[in-house]
Amino acid sequence: MSKAVPQPVTQLIDAFSRLPGVGPKTASRLTYYLLRAPDEVSQSLADALADLKTHTRFCSVCHNITENDPCGICSDSNRDTSQIVVVEEPLDVLAVERTGAFNGLYHVLHGAISPVEGVGPEDLKIRELVQRVENGNTLEVIIATNPGMEGDATAMYLQRQLAAAGVKITRLARGLPTGGDLEYVDSVTLMRALQGRHEM
């Protein structure tokens, strides 16, 4: 960057640029907004980032983001422990919860199988899912990976891994657009996809 731009400004622009979906222009706008904003805005952002890293962890059961271990969903005695929805990312849990149509448990894989990006089954929380299903009272595993090549490959792999467990394995109905992500799907479409799931 130009010598006309102070080093702290350049560093913050670079930091924002590394975030997903934030390009150089957006990073610059955010940085210059924070420069003009009252000090408490910048301080609250700094505090929120610090709290994010120090007060959150992954649930040892479902691997969702939580403050307490196990998370609120896993420790809720009113949830149906016989059903597990398997999703790719923590944001997908929020998407399913928004529908109000599911009262079971979740398992977050933290990605999908993608040989192109170098992500294999061993990089995901698949082994933990298989152990959880084999050691628990699960009757149905609902695979809710995103529709598309990676999500479908992950679903097929999960089906093979869970076949010996003797549980019902279903996949969300194709009310979801191929190539879309669960976090961007409206609640009605996702609710219909949950209700219309089918056995694999």
- Residues 17, 70 within the same domain: no
Q: Which residues of the chain have pLDDT under 70?
A: 1-3, 175-176
Residue 130, H or E segment: helix 126-135
- Residues 91, 163 within the same domain: yes
- Residues 117, 26 within the same domain: no
108-144 confidence digits (pLDDT tens): 999 999 999 999 999 999 999 999 999 989 999 999 9
- Residues 20, 91 within the same domain: no
pLDDT attached to residue 59: 97
Would you say residue 1 lies in a domain?
no
- Residues 39, 126 within the same domain: no
- Residues 23, 90 within the same domain: no
Domain that holds residue 176: 65-199
Picking from 105, 86, 103, the residue whose alpha carbon sits closest to that of residue 155 is 86
pLDDT attached to residue 105: 97
What's the CATH number where 39 sits? 1.10.8.420
- Residues 42, 121 within the same domain: no
- Residues 153, 183 within the same domain: yes
Would you say residue 100 lies in a domain?
yes
What's the CATH number where 195 sits? 3.40.1360.10
Would you say residue 89 lies in a domain?
yes
Query: What does pTM read for this prediction?
Result: 0.78
Picking from 13, 36, 35, the residue whose alpha carbon sits closest to that of residue 26 is 13
Would you say residue 182 lies in a domain?
yes
Picking from 4, 2, 5, 24, the residue whose alpha carbon sits closest to that of residue 15 is 24
Would you say residue 107 lies in a domain?
yes
- Residues 128, 38 within the same domain: no
Would you say residue 134 lies in a domain?
yes
Would you say residue 60 lies in a domain?
no
- Residues 145, 174 within the same domain: yes
* DSSP structural state of residue 119: B
- Residues 41, 84 within the same domain: no
- Residues 69, 50 within the same domain: no
Would you say residue 136 lies in a domain?
yes
Mapped to the 3 state alphabet, what secondary structure does 38-97 carry? CHHHHHHHHHHHHHHHHHCEECCCCCCEECCCCCCCCCCCCCCCCEEEEECCHHHHHHHH
Structural domain count, the chain:
2
